[in-house]
Amino acid sequence: MSSEKSTVQIILPNFKDIYSFLKLGKEDQQKVIELGLSALNLIEEKKSRYENTDFNDKLTQNEEKYKQIVQNMEKSLKEEKIKYSKLQADIYSKENAMQNNISRSIELEFKHKLKSKDDVIDTLKVENKKAQVKLNEITEKHFQQERDRIKSIYNDHEEKINTLSKENEEKINTLRKNYDEKISEIMNKMYKNEENSSVKGKLSENAMLQNLNMLFPKNTIEDTHKETARGDFIMTDENDNKILFENKDYQNNVPKKEIDKFTRDMTDNADICCGIFMSNASGICKKKDYQIEFILGKPVIYLHQTNTNINKIKCAYDIIQSILKTDIDFSNKELSDKFSKLSSEIKTKMSKCRKDIDKFTKSLLDNFLDIENMVKKIFSNLNIKK
């Protein structure tokens, strides 16, 4: 043993592989020796196994035993994997079922809430419609009361005049006669070629314009009485339909020449789709109230005595709108006659409705107040600010 590291001197036999060994480096020589020893031990072990039958049997048994254990473990692992897959599938199925149940439950809950809201809205719409009808009735009643009040004031005035002394009465009569003569003279000059009904028509135009604006607050209404062959008023509704209104204020029934003029206006104006002929204080020659006709396929309605009920105009407009929305050939005379008959029945029904309304006015007013309180409660429950 010498040098820096411990070394051992050995004498090796002389054979050809020894020279190959000696040519290797020290590390490779060490590896060759270690590999050789391992190989030798392995050979000895194999030899022992071949020589020792009991050992081989035990070793074989152990190998079979461990092999069986490995197989059992692999089988158990496979079964566990199957169980895990089934468990995972069950969990996924339960999650889907739970999610579907939750979604269905939420959907049903919101559907019920939406339906409740829709029911409330429908109820409010019905109540609003009833309130609007009632408002129209109250408005008409108000106008009638105003007309009665003005008439009463006029009668009172006449009564007061009649109670004056004869001297004052003679003076007033003289003044009135003078003014009546002057007014008559002016009227004759201004309206020499016009009928008396036309003069009255001019005086009632402003009142009718106000009525139309009140009945149709969303529509555009033009005063066209100064335009040639354009009627008295033209109304454009929200569907861009143009309706021609002819307004007459005759003391007696409106004569045929005015109907011919209305027919001409309906024929000459291509932009007009329908028309309403109104007589404020009388009937119309050879025309029934609510009579429906067609001029070049355009529906028209004739109304009598609209001063007594301006809602007849709104009813006529609604009838015309229903006709315009139907795809029916109204040039058929038999069909037109049926509509004329139907319009008469409508008039009868309206008269009955007016009687019923008068009969149950107080009850309707009470109901109207109850509806208003119900609406307030609904707004309060929904936390809606009016």
Report domain extents, the chain.
Answer: 17-51, 196-359
| pLDDT tens digit sequence for 9-34 | 777 777 777 777 777 888 887 888 88
Identify the band that residue 2 occupies on the pLDDT scale cut at 50, 70 and 90: very low
Token reading at 192: 């020499």
Question: What pLDDT is attached to residue 193?
Answer: 42
C-alpha 208/C-alpha 219 separation (Å) is 15
Residue 330, token pair as written in the block: 């109204």
- Which pLDDT belongs to residue 38? 80
CB-count exposure of residue 319 (10 Å: 0-12, 13-18, 19+)? buried
pLDDT at 37: 83
| CATH fold label, 196-359 | Restriction Endonuclease (3.40.91)
CA pair distance 248, 284, nearest whole angstrom? 9
- Give the model's pLDDT for residue 194: 44
Q: What is the mean pLDDT of residues 172-199?
A: 54
Q: What is the pLDDT of residues 253-296, one digit of tens each?
A: 999 999 999 999 999 999 999 999 999 889 999 998 888 888 98
Compute the distance between CA of residue 266 and CA of residue 275 in angstroms, rounded to an integer.
7
Q: Which of the given ranges, 110-114, 191-195, 219-223, 370-374, has the highest pLDDT on average? A: 219-223
Q: What value does the mean pLDDT take over residues 310-321?
A: 90
**Mean pLDDT highest for which of 196-205, 304-313, 348-357?**
304-313
Q: What is the pLDDT of residue 249?
A: 86
| Mean pLDDT value across residues 373-377 | 73
Per-residue pLDDT band for 3 (boundaries 50, 70, 90) equals very low
User: What's the CA gap between 370 and 366, in Å, rounded?
Assistant: 6
Mean per-residue pLDDT, 221-241: 90
- Residue 242 scores a pLDDT above 50: yes
Residue (of 272, 220, 267, 278) closest to 245 by Cα position: 278
pLDDT for position 71: 86
